Structure 1
Amino acid sequence: MTDTPADPKERLLDAALDHVPFDGWSPATFAAARRDAEIDKTVARAVCPRGAVDLAVAYHKRGDAQMIEGLKSENLTDMRFRDRIARAVQLRLQVVPDKELVRRGTTLFALPQYAPDGAKLVWGTCDAIWETLGDTSDDVNWYTKRATLSGVYSATILYWLGDTSEDDAKTWAFLDRRIDDVMQIEKVKAQVRNSPTLSKLMIGPNWFLSHIKAPTRFPKGDMPGSWTTPRR
């Protein structure tokens, strides 16, 4: 017998997972989850004011937490850093028990009114990956690392949703290709920095970029843009 979570939102989420593949992250799913979890309507609305939308957000964040736990339990010492990134994305997708849960979420967060939520969740996942892998950047690189990985992660999810290969082998090959593309961009950036002629042309932009600092944030989960004072 499994323990029942005390947190009403967790109970609602667990109950909703059986309904999402059929009804999506919808009012019907939220109503069914509330009934299955035997949670009072007032309590359910208190913990999830937007109903199933809040459950979809909670489900994504649960996956992030599981990914972080998985990364911390693995020995990544002998891996190249690009391979650590690939492994993190792979773990994030492997914690999903049913692709339909993510497919339905992708449909939900494609709606204009929920697109900001979707973008924030993707950014949060990529931030979690970088922080778990020990990123210490506090300048413009803090933003570019997460923005670049967000593009790789989003493209990989879309490919993975349509992948029918054994053990998602084609998805992991696709992911490796995308990361290789990013590494090529980084090589070009390094060549620009090391070129005396191009470095002179970049004096103005570099001065501006040097004044961009990573945010000092409130507790994890406020992503991005919720900070108090710039880092010194």
Structure 2
Amino acid sequence: MEGLIGRSSKIMLQRIQTKSIIKPNLLNLRPHRSFSYSVSAKLINSNVESNEQKETSRIPLNLIHSEILRASLSFVPKYGWSVESLSHGANSLGYPSVSHGLFPRGGVELIEWFLEDSRRKMVNELIDKMDGLKIHQKIRLACITRLNYTKPYAKKWSEALAIMAQPNNVQTSIEHLAKLVDDMWYLAGDKSADMNWYTKRGSLAVIYSSTELYMTQDISPDYTGTFQFLDHRLQDIATFGRVVGEIDTFVGFVTKSLVGVLASKGIGNFDK
């Protein structure tokens, strides 16, 4: 499945470069650092850990990262996208609470990991389920599948949106969104190579972002209102060629709308 994920996001980002707020030297998405050394699997105090444990309980640090991040999601509904969630996640696995120091950027790293993990899960879940569906049905299924991953954290998702809308995180936020909608269209069988490539992805990005934002305020049972909102936006098929004519317009719309709505609710500090 190599080549499916993020297949064309760099093309989108290159188009953004000319007029967007993203600096050119920041456009290349950097992979997570890979650690070649290993540490104790449970970071147990050396005074009480036996020599046998020291020999058998060593695993790569990057696996510890993922293990802690995954466990931390269970604490997001209570503590939000925060260092507290990371501390509790580490502690739940037997690591000391100070293990959150493995994540110098705090809750941002938890959000980014969730976004990347959810996108990969969406692709894996849908790659064999698209046969026989029409394009608009495929897009709807992709949107619903991805939104379902956010449902357990929906009450805290406005916090995540506020964090990712901060100036230092906007670039990463746009990159994740660009990859997500590109994967959705690729799963739907889109192979366009002209300006339709931009309008389709830009329009879907606006639709998905607005639906996700709606979800943060939805009080309907099982977020039925959110999915009705999505259906209303998708019903107007002409939207895919009309909402966004240029990718820089899309960036401005998403960024300004998101920051404006969150700021009006007193979420986040956007003056820094």
Q: Same fold (TM over 0.5)?
A: yes
TM-score range, shorter chain: 0.5 to 0.7
**SS of the residue aligned with 2:127?**
helix
Once the two structures are superposed, residues 50-93 of structure 1 have per-residue CA deviations (whole angstroms, 9 ceiling, x without a partner) of 2321121011111111211221242441x321121111101111
Among 58, 65, 71, the residue aligned to 2:113: 58
Question: Structure 1: how far apart are the matches of 2:84 and 2:118?
Answer: 23
1:156 matched to 2:156? The reply is no
Larger relative contact order (CA 8 Å, sep ≥ 6): 2
Deviations 1:75-118 (A, max 9, x none): 441x3211211111011111233323533322321223222222
Residue 82 (1) aligns with residue 136 (2): yes
- Asked whether the 8 Å contact 2:181–2:201 carries over to 1, the reply is yes
Runs ≥4 residues deviating over 6 A:
40-44
Alpha-carbon distance in 1 for matches of 2:78, 2:222: 24
Task: Determine the C-alpha separation between the residues in 2 that align with 1:167 and 1:76.
Answer: 28
1:93–1:60: structure 2 CA closer, same or farther, 3 Å change rule?
same
Structure 1 equivalent of residue 47 of structure 2: none
Structure 2: runs of 5+ lacking an equivalent: 1-58, 247-272
The 2-side partners of 1:184 and 1:25 are apart by: 33
Paired residues in the alignment total 184
Is 1:19 equivalent to 2:75 in the alignment?
Answer: yes
Match among 27, 30, 38 for residue 86 of structure 2: 30
Distance verdict in 2 for CA 1:141–1:69, change over 3 Å: same
Q: Does the 8 Å contact 1:160/1:168 carry over to 2?
A: yes
Indicate yes or no: 2:166 matched with 1:102: no
The one-letter code sitting in structure 1 at the alignment partner of 2:146 is R
What do residues 145-180 of structure 1 show as CA deviations (whole Å, max 9, x unaligned)?
211111000011111222232343322221122123
Using the alignment, how far apart are the partners of 1:180 and 1:147 within structure 2? Answer: 17
**CA displacement at 1:40 relative to structure 2:** 7.4
Give how far 1:11 is off: 0.9
Post-superposition offset of 1:43: 7.9
Change (3 A) 1:186 1:105: same
Determine the C-alpha separation between the residues in 2 that align with 1:100 and 1:70: 25
**Structure-2-length-normalised TM-score:** 0.58
